[in-house]
Amino acid sequence: MFGHSKQTTIWSQVILTILAIIFISPLFIAIKISLQGEGIENYLAVLKNPMLPHLFTNSVIVSFFTIILVYLVTILSAYAFSKLPIKHKEWYFNAILIGLMIPAISLVVPLFSIVKSLGWFNNYLALIGPYAAFGIPFTLLLMRNFLDEVPDTLLEAAKIDGGNSFQVLLHIIMPLAKPISIVVVIWTFLSSWNEYFMALVFMRKEAMYMITQAPQFYMGTYTSDTGKIFASLVLISLPVVIAYLFLQKYFENGMTSGSIK
């Protein structure tokens, strides 16, 4: 029995190693291509681009406010769906989850019409709203599943002590939901920072470009600087990689936590 268990562990490690190589190989390929031509000068040229600080700032602003909006809507909605006596709440919850099955790209045309009618081209709101709308169904699912494990007796005891629903949310639910809240923040940051297509459609002025549009500066009508394009892609991915490496522990704890001890 122990021999079989050891063999299973070895095969698991082999499979995980192969998967890790497959997932990380695109980054190494991008680094290799980025060094073609002028080598490290490709990175220096991208870093010296006077538009880079504007692109970085724009992405930070959009990601920050998207995170705030997604977190507030998620924690409030999850608390209501999990702990408050709302009529037909399961129907409403399932209706929201339908958003998980709708590809964001399929709604670009109606979103284009809405943004045009509101005059939001080259406006942060044109990205913050859709990013939040497409992210909330998933974060709501995570948060509600977590809150379902919080004992109702704990909340009832707080209400007996004189706490209202808002105080229960602020002083009990939010502290207990810290692990899954970190997951919500990380997930929202990754999805908003990496998004490209909507930024391409709604941000027309160079001053309002997002960081994912940096490679466009090195794409011409007839020729493109491949080395600088891939150098910019590598630099764009660095904040995501660094964020995950530093927050990996919290992300894994949040994804695996689902019970209150």
Helix, strand or coil for residue 102? coil
Name the token pair of 84. 């408050």
Type of residue numbered 121? F
Residue 220 sits in the same domain as residue 174: yes
Tokens of 86: 């709302």
Q: How far apart are CA 157 and CA 161, in angstroms?
A: 6
138-147, 209-218, 220-229 — which is least confidently predicted? 220-229
CATH of the domain at 182: 1.10.3720.10
Mean per-residue pLDDT, 109-123: 93
Do 75 and 13 belong together in one domain? no
Backbone angles phi, psi at 121, to 5 degrees: -60, 140
Task: Tell me, yes or no, whether 66 and 91 share the same domain.
Answer: yes
191 to 18, 29, 58, 66, 240: CA distances (angstroms): 25, 22, 15, 10, 10
Q: 145 and 59 share a domain?
A: yes
pLDDT of residue 1: 46
| pLDDT band with cut points at 50, 70 and 90 for residue 255 | low
The predicted-structure confidence for 145-154, as pLDDT tens digits, reads as follows 999 988 888 8
- Residues 24 and 137 both lie in one domain: no
Q: Are 29 and 52 in the same domain?
A: no
pLDDT at 260 over 70: no
Least confident of 82-86, 110-114, 253-257: 253-257
Residues 76 and 13 reside in one and the same domain: no
Number of domains in the chain: 2
Do 128 and 53 lie in one domain? The reply is yes
Q: Are residues 80 and 203 both part of a single domain?
A: yes
Residue numbers of the domain that contains 29:
1-35
Q: Are residues 221 and 133 in the same domain?
A: yes
Please provide the average confidence, as pLDDT, over all residues in the chain: 87
**At residue 107, does pLDDT exceed 60?**
yes
Domain identity same for 95 and 148: yes
Count CA atoms within 13 Å of residue 159 on its CB side.
12
My answer on whether 21 and 119 are in the same domain is no
Identify whether the C-beta of residue 58 lies closer than 8 Å to the C-beta of residue 208.
yes
